[in-house]
């Protein structure tokens, strides 16, 4: 988002985030497993542009909403991506396994709470209710193996710097540390370097 905000024409940029369970199973073949909501928000331009995009998506049959607060929406997405992508990759676990085990659930919630703190430092409107809601949404979804875990299993490079490193850096710049998320990022960095030594060159999967 930082690079996009500084680019010429940024006022015309509309961001969109998906909450969807899907997997790249073959070139050009994505399996849709659960959920599918799209949230659109203008980067700097008028809210009307995001609202128009959401309306077009609804007209095409998608579940779509527009938000005037793209910053909060992006951090809210990280509430899911940070714990579940990272822990599933390191622990070789599906979402249901992570939440069914007391230790796994505690790790998930602790990471989410750090994301809330980091997001709030960066101007996002987040709180404990967002953590509870994200846990409930995950408990209701089909048992799901996040995209980063699928990338690791297939020998593809990870998206850990965008999902874990970027929020750690953003929070640090705003005066807040995220020690658990940072440790998760470093552990994933080790895995990523190992994968890159033997990568197949296949493209990364799309994060949920």
Annotated active-site positions, please?
A: 77
CA neighbours closer than 13 Å in the CB half-sphere of residue 184: 33
10 Å Cβ neighbour count for 46?
A: 13
Residues 6+ apart with CB under 8 A from 17: 38, 39, 41, 73, 74, 77
Q: Name every residue whose Cβ is closer than 8 Å to that of residue 116 and which is 6 or more positions away in sequence.
A: 79, 126, 127, 128, 130, 131
Q: How far apart are CA 108 and CA 31, in angstroms?
A: 25
Can you say how many angstroms the Cα of residue 14 is from the centroid of all Cα atoms in its chain?
18
Are the C-beta atoms of 3 and 10 separated by less than 8 Å? no
Residue bearing tokens 């998760």: 184
């Amino acid at each position: 988002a930082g690079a996009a905000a500084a680019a010429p024409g940024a006022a015309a940029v509309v961001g969109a985030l998906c909450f969807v369970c899907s997997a790249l199973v073959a070139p050009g073949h994505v399996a849709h497993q659960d959920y599918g909501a799209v949230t659109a928000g203008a980067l700097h331009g008028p809210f009307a542009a995001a609202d128009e995009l959401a309306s077009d998506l609804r007209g095409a049959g998608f579940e779509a909403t527009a938000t005037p607060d793209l910053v909060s929406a992006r951090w809210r997405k990280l509430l899911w991506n940070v714990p579940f992508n990272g822990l599933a990759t390191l622990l070789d676990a599906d979402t249901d396994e992570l939440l069914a085990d007391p230790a796994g659930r505690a790790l998930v919630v602790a990471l989410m709470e750090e994301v809330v703190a980091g997001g709030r430092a960066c101007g996002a409107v987040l709180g404990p209710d967002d953590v509870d809601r994200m846990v409930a949404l995950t408990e209701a979804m089909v048992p799901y193996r996040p995209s980063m875990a699928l990338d690791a299993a297939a020998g593809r490079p990870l998206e850990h710097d965008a999902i874990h490193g970027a929020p750690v850096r953003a929070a640090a710049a705003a005066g807040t540390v995220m020690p658990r998320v940072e440790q998760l990022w470093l552990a994933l960095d080790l895995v990523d370097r190992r994968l890159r030594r033997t990568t197949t060159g296949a493209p990364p999967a799309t994060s949920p």
